[in-house]
Amino acid sequence: MPIIELKDVTKTFGRVNALRGISVKIEAGEVHCLLGDNGAGKSTLIKILSGVHRPSQGTYEFEGKPVELRSPREALDLGIATVFQDLAMLPLMSITRNFFLGREPQKKLGPVAVFDSRTASSITNDELKKIGITLRDPDQAVGTLSGGERQAVAIARAVYFGARVLILDEPTSALGVKEAAVVLKYIVQAKTKGIGVIFITHNVHHAWAVGDTFTVLNRGTSYGTFKKADVTRERLLQMMAGGEELEELAVELELIAKRDSPEAGKLEQQVAKVLEDEAGESH
């Protein structure tokens, strides 16, 4: 039984159809990649999965039972954790405080409950070590970390608090090659823990490196869901780009090139003549 299943989900905003007839299943221990270019509907689908929006039509099932999520908190209570692009971190606060933001461990000092910083720092250090990050000081500001390390903190936080489904919104979009590779490694580690990972991206190469299943969105509709063994990276790229539209564009560009080639040749000859004349004058 899948952890999450969307059946024929549609989302409208007034007269705008952001999603139409989307169906996806998220399995435990699987990286399910949602692919699509800008405007494909990925952000709207994330918000439905994470409880920000409710579907206009269709059903949302969690472990085989229909649910109606009214807020991200309800999704989190079910074990659906979302790491958005902006990470929801406070750069000037420590790594430890960001790790436990909103869920701070407390200890009693007489009748007063205060933040247990020693326990929090120890847990933060241990959890990040598990995914290969050794901190100089867990009390350093999270803003001092690289983009890849911040993503790692967000993923480790979600795993520690019992996420069963981890939704990652474009986690590698603003990262360099090495940092992106580090984040992809953490995605695989989350998968090996039996977590269902939803990896939203428009980078097919990153998705192909870690993905098991691929759903391709284009202008609010789905081209379908494919297992890795049943599709090629080139086919995914073609579907994301709009397939037939891309072929039509290639034909148009070829025709433009043929049409402009005589003019381009004349221009090149004129430039060459001017350069020859200037060279002759300089001598």
> What is the pLDDT averaged over residues 57-83?
91
Lowest mean pLDDT among 99-113, 127-141, 258-272: 258-272
What average pLDDT is seen over the chain?
A: 84
Give which of 50, 45, 39, 51 is closest to 24, Cα–Cα: 45
Instruction: Indicate if the pLDDT at residue 254 is higher than 90.
Output: no
> What is the pLDDT averaged over residues 108-118?
85
Residue type, 240: M
Give which of 68, 84, 78 is closest to 198, Cα–Cα: 84
Residues 228 and 213: beta-carbon distance below 8 Å: yes
Pair 149, 13 in one domain: yes
Q: What is the pLDDT of residue 111?
A: 84
Pair 18, 156 in one domain: yes
Classify each residue of 50-62 as buried b or exposed e, where b means 16 or more C-beta atoms within 10 Å of its C-beta. Answer: bbbbebeebebbb
Could you give the angle at the alpha carbon of 206 between the alpha carbons of 203 and 212, nearest 5°? 110
C-alpha to C-alpha distance for 45 and 172, rounded to whole angstroms: 19
In terms of pTM, does the model score above 0.85? Answer: no
Number of domains into which the chain is organized: 2
Q: Is residue 120 part of a domain?
A: no
Domain region containing 269: 243-283
Q: What is the pLDDT of residue 175?
A: 79
Pair 276, 146 in one domain: no
Lowest mean pLDDT among 141-155, 193-207, 234-248: 234-248
Q: What is the pLDDT of residue 87?
A: 61
Q: Which segments of 144-274 are extended strands (E)?
A: 165-169, 196-201, 213-218, 221-227
Pair 257, 283 in one domain: yes
Number of H helices, E strands in the chain: 9, 12
